Amino acid sequence: MSFLPFALPDICEDEINEVLDSLRSGWLTTGPKTKRFEEDFAAFIGNNSEAIAVNSATAGLHLALEAVGITAGDEVITTPYTFTATAEVIRYLGADPVLVDIDAATFNIDPSKIEAAITSRTKAIVPVHFAGLSCDMQAIFSIARKHNLKVVEDAAHALPTTCNGKLIGALESDAAVFSFYATKTITTGEGGMVVTHSPELAKRCRIMRLHGISRDAFDRYTSIKPAWHYEVVAPGFKYNMTDIAASLGIHQLKKAKAFQQKRSQMAATYDSAFYGLPLTLPPHAPDNDTHAWHLYVIRLHDKAGISRDSFIGAMAEKGIGCSVHFIPLHLHPYWRDLYGLKPEDFPNAQSGFEQAVSLPLYTKMSEEDQQRVIQAVKEILAC
């Protein structure tokens, strides 16, 4: 029997044909397809959003934090239960990430612990919507307003997640940053999108994503009048999205809601099959809200009779790929040693990590594929 990978992108002829059209057009870098994808994405999010396409969510987080004014010596509060990119972009700017433990049930940052971490140096909060479930944004916004802090959402997992009936990206945060990496709910291979309601922030991100140049190449090279002239107004970065990547995104975005519906159905199938087993099932979104179901993360109980690592090994022996999201930042040498972090500083993140397994959940999985996963889990847990 063939190996069932942990994740696969769902690419069809629409995406392929759009990429071929870009290749034939002669415009490969940031151009008309990127502009179209940005416009489509802003319309999808709504609420007068502006969307800035970039080559990764990491780049988008860096741009957004730079645009809100994070500089050397500042502190930015975030969670240890995330990929290192969330924190490393803070270091890019010479600022310090301050890590706050997660809620044990949701794996999202615990708002009740945020205020105790605020100091005179604190300038922003970066909540991470883990697995596609929204953080408690109302509580976070309340804290941010009280202490005059910026909020930049790490929404890498969160398309099309909703919070209190609004899509992530349409809330009152200064910016939300989405990922289109190959494993995400929609993909451009590599890529990301910064979404904001601030024209000033959007303008800054656009300038800084391409070397601090005042005009994009697409604007300069397609102008009716000669427009070779440009000005470098800041020491920017090389973070622009290509039209080849945007070609994928244009059609992936059209499928985002259908993809979410299938992921939700698959999560429900897992829930039903695993009920009563010695594990904790992932939390669902509140009524009338949407979980993106980027990940389906179970937690093994002690009475499961098998360690997390042994479980993943046993699944691999049955031809099924699993993963772990995430190895918390406080366990990585760089973050541990730089800030003197210890596991006991983050008891919920630590225990969650020790028990967590991400099972395959992606739209190209067939019903037979999912039943293979279910049967393997039951056999390993001897149920």
Catalytic residue among 35, 123, 184, 203: 184
Question: Known catalytic residue: 342?
Answer: no
Do the beta carbons of residue 108 and residue 79 sit within 8 Å?
A: yes
Given the DSSP bridges, would you call strands 122-125 and 150-154 parallel, antiparallel or unpaired?
Answer: parallel
18-22 long-range contacts, Cβ below 8 Å, gap at least 24? 18/247, 18/248, 18/250, 18/251, 19/244, 19/247, 19/248, 21/247, 22/243, 22/244, 22/247
Q: What angle do CA 237, 247, 322 make, to 5 degrees?
A: 85
Taking Cα atoms as reference points, which of 5, 3, 1 lies closest to residue 323?
A: 5
Sequence-ordered strand ranges (E) for 185-263:
192-196
| Chain CA centroid to CA 330, Å | 20
In the chain, the amino acid numbered 56 is S
Q: What are phi and psi of 196, to 5 degrees?
A: -150, 160
Kindly provide the residue ranges of all beta strands, DSSP E only, lying in the chain, ordered along the sequence.
50-54, 75-78, 96-99, 122-125, 150-154, 162-163, 166-167, 175-179, 192-196, 279-280, 296-300, 356-359
- Burial annotation 122-143 (CB, 10 A radius, 16+ → b, else e): bbbbbbbbbbbbbbbbeebbeb
Catalogue the long-range contacts made by 345-349 (C-beta closer than 8 Å, 24 or more residues apart): 345/99, 345/101, 346/80, 346/99, 346/101, 346/102, 347/101, 348/101, 348/102, 348/103, 348/104, 348/110, 349/79, 349/80, 349/81, 349/101, 349/102
Helix axes 13-25, 243-254, angle to 10 degrees: 150
Helices (H), 46-172: 57-67, 85-92, 137-147
Looking at the annotation, which residues are catalytic? 184
